Amino acid sequence: MGPILLNHMGNEEDEYIKEQVQVNNPNLDTMEEDILYHFSLSTKTHNLPEMFGDIKFVCVGGSANRMKAFAQFIHQELKLPGNPGDVKDICEGTDRYCMYKVGPVLSISHGMGVPSISIMLHELIKLLHHAQCRDVVLFRLGTSGGVGLAPGTVVITEKAVDYSFRPQFEQVVLGKVITRNTELDEGVANELLQCSSELQTFPTVIGNTMCTHDFYEGQGRLDGALCSFSQEEKLEYLRKAYEAGVRNIEMESTVFAAMCRVCGLKGIIFLTKQTLYDGKTF
């Protein structure tokens, strides 16, 4: 991750068109104050352009402790002054999410599942908009259950797909289903793959990521409080997923991809594989 951040910082003028982060809600223009409740920030109480206007990269992950450790790691990689251990949680006024700013990089936790990351993304995108940020790239980092891959493999997501392997996210709004596309930025994905091949530190593939509604039944686990399927049914479903290009399973990718796409943000999902499904079963 460090090399790609450094690479983009060095080629900012050549590589990107200067586009400000956009929101897709005209109601925000009529509001005297926009309160980002779950970040404990506001357009009236905080100077968001001054605090966040230089942000170029946002890295999000489920665990608060992990995202603090990531911020400390990036602090070292970018060779910034000061002690990495002194990074400050900007959202310390709330216990919902954590947020750390390290130079042009923002590191934020999003919790688990679509509802939790969705709340965070709404307020994050508004934050970037109010701060007048430009050319921002969003990365989702984390762990996932691999499908037919060796343990330790990193999956760069090409498309986030639903339970039927469709590249779409369905959002119910006022009783109606709105369907949004979930294809991610191909250019950044290929650049990450190139960085990985040059570093040769871990196996990396590009594939589809399936998003489920829960950790147990939705991901085919046999050890939850409920289980309505057999081992054979599980393996048959996973074979179909593999044939559809799915290489890993998690719980946030579709809404992440959909919201990035609607708001014109470059988004990428970069996940490591835990030993969940043995590739030999395929």
| pLDDT tens digits along 119-145 | 999 999 999 999 999 999 999 999 899
Lowest-pLDDT range, 49-63, 98-112, 146-160, 168-182?
146-160
211, amino acid identity: C
Q: Is 140 annotated as a binding residue?
A: yes
Q: Is 247 annotated as a binding residue?
A: no
Over the stretch 168-181, which tens digit does the pLDDT of each residue have?
999 999 999 999 99
DSSP assignment letter at 181 = E
Q: Is 219 annotated as a binding residue?
A: yes
Label residue 22 by pLDDT band (50, 70, 90).
Answer: confident
- HEC string of 213-246 equals CCCCHHHCCCCCCCCCCCHHHHHHHHHHHHHCCE
Residue 68 pLDDT > 90? yes
Q: Contact, 155 vs 208, CB < 8 A?
A: no
3 state DSSP class of 153: coil
pLDDT at 256: 98
The yes or no reply on domain 1-135 and CATH 3.40.190.100 is no
Label residue 6 by pLDDT band (50, 70, 90).
Answer: low
Residue 262 pLDDT > 90? yes
3 state DSSP class of 258: helix
Domain range summary for the chain, segments of one domain joined by +: 1-135, 142-282
1-135 and 142-282 agree in CATH topology: yes
What lies within 8 Å, CB to CB, of 197 at 6+ separation is: 204
Q: Is 221 annotated as a binding residue?
A: yes
Residue 75 pLDDT > 70? yes
The rounded mean pLDDT for the chain is 90
Over the stretch 196-233, which tens digit does the pLDDT of each residue have?
888 878 889 999 999 999 999 999 999 999 999 999 99
**Average pLDDT value for residue range 161-165:** 97
Separation between Cα atoms, residue 128 and residue 106, nearest integer Å = 11
Q: Which two tokens stand for residue 190?
A: 């290929």
Q: What is the CATH number of domain 142-282?
A: 3.40.50.1580
